[in-house]
Amino acid sequence: MSGKKKIILILLIIIAVLVLTGCLRITADDLYFLPEISEEYLRLQAHISILLSQGAEFAPPTRGPNRQAVQLRDLNGSGTNEVIAFFSVPAESVLRVYIFELVDGDYVIADFIEGVGTEIESVRYVDMDGDGIMELVIGWQMGSALRYMTIYSISDFHHRLLVSGVEYSEISVFDVTGDGNDDVIVFRMPAFEFGAAAEVYSLMQDGEIVKSEARLSTGIESINRIMTGRLIDGTPAVFVDSEGTFETGSLVTDVLAIYSGGFSNISLTASSGVSESTVRHRMSSSDINKDGIIKVPTLRLLIAQSETEYFAIDWYAFRPNGQSNLILTTYHNNFDEWFLILPLDWRGKVSVRREDSVPGERTIIFSYFANPDGLHEDFLQIMKLSGENAEDRARSGNRVHLLTEGASVYAFELIASPDSFGLTFNEALIKDNFRLIYSDWISGSIT
């Protein structure tokens, strides 16, 4: 690459960083003019150009929340952003993270961190002890599967190694201890005689790192999703959805929290080494009703009116001692992308069936039964409408429009009088309890 092309590339990267971080604001009128780069950033560009001319190559982190080759962060709480740039040096087989400090209008190299590996996997900026100075959590990729984490303290722009060479599969950041400061959580898959585990690294006020460890379920093969939230009593907790081979399903949730002074897997069954109460098929854990408490789902087969199986989903939340409580129940129509929170008095008294006989309408009908083998009496239908006049059809007759999402229109109709059969249902309740489905509740994802 020619020197001119390198400079253009660097300028574009810096402009992108400034725009993404909100430091450079562009209006519609600005689009007609070339952006003016400050003298400080022109000098920064010159410093980076020198590094590139000496054989360095950009090596942005490949995963995690921060993936730019050049990043802006206020590392010391001064109100001024430092510049963190990521490089590989092929001739020396090293990776380097440079920190540029703004001094008298010029960005100068204040420090650099050097590591070995094929690439920089991730970087996180975490104030672990509440002193206003960021710690750098860097993941180094070593080949196709092996990763090591290091944590550095950046005080007066001189890095100090706090944690070194921790093998991991995933990294998360969360205030597990509840002291107001973020902790670093490392998840490790099974290796040799060691089982899967999670380790929490906390930084004390005196600069000491404290590590705590909790086991994950025996038999997990991959981590699907990591969620952070709270238990029933407000205790911070980490919920790890993993896939594996278990007697009653392929998905398990390990609930990790501080309990009795230590970091513990509170959902684990000691005899089997598996969080047996959370083993299931499909459905990720979720804060489904948005109250800050993470719930773990369990599928429950409903009484059927046909050979087609329909399920309700019972959502359980945990207490610090590992006891779980049923919080709410839902019916999910994944095909039509909606769900309904079911009143608790529907339990064991309601069946479900689908009817798609009307073009442009897909309908789920809820029915009451006093006896599973007896008469099923319809009382509610929820429909997804599409095509011509969908909005009008959603309001025709006794139908009540719920919402419109793109080309899809959702509506419902009470077929029986409100509160018939001793069940709780009325127009206000259906409106309040209807939700659209987010796809990651089914597929799972790393957060």
Phi–psi pair at 370, nearest 5 degrees = -85, -30
The pLDDT tens digits of the residues spanning 232-273 come to 999 999 999 999 989 889 999 999 999 888 899 999 999 999
| Residue 6: per-residue pLDDT | 53
Phi, psi of 411 (to 5 degrees): -150, 170
CA distances from 227 to 43, 83, 135, 239, 327 (A): 42, 30, 22, 5, 18
Confidence tier at 26 by pLDDT (50, 70, 90): very low
Looking at residue 9, what is its pLDDT? 52
Query: Mean of the pLDDT values across residues 21-45?
Result: 61
Is 2's pLDDT higher than 90? Answer: no
Distance CA 414, CA 400 (A): 9
| pLDDT score, position 145 | 83
- What pLDDT is recorded for position 388? 93
Mean pLDDT computed over every residue of the chain: 89
Average pLDDT over residues 197-225: 95
Cβ–Cβ under 8 Å, residues 73 and 82: yes
Q: For 194-205, what is the mean pLDDT? A: 93
Q: How far is CA 83 from each of CA 5, 80, 104, rounded to the nearest angstrom?
A: 21, 10, 15
pTM of this structure: 0.85
246 Cβ neighbours under 8 A, 6+ residues apart? 217, 219, 252, 274, 279
Give the percent of the chain with pLDDT over 90.
79
Per-residue confidence (pLDDT) for residue 35, from 0 to 100: 55
The letter for the amino acid at 381 is Q
What are the tokens at 294? 């993470």
Q: Show the tokens assigned to 217.
A: 């379920």
**Tens digit of pLDDT for each residue in 320-334?**
999 999 999 999 999
In contact, 296 and 316? CB cutoff 8 Å: yes
Comparing 136 with 2, the larger pLDDT belongs to 136
Structure confidence at residue 307 (pLDDT): 86
Counting every residue written for the chain, the total comes to 447
Q: What is the pLDDT of residues 53-82, one digit of tens each?
A: 999 999 999 999 999 999 999 999 999 999
Cβ neighbours around 419 below 10 Å, total: 12
Query: What pLDDT, on a 0 to 100 scale, did the predictor assign at position 31?
Result: 43
Q: What is the pLDDT of residues 362-393, one digit of tens each?
A: 999 999 999 888 899 999 999 999 999 999 99
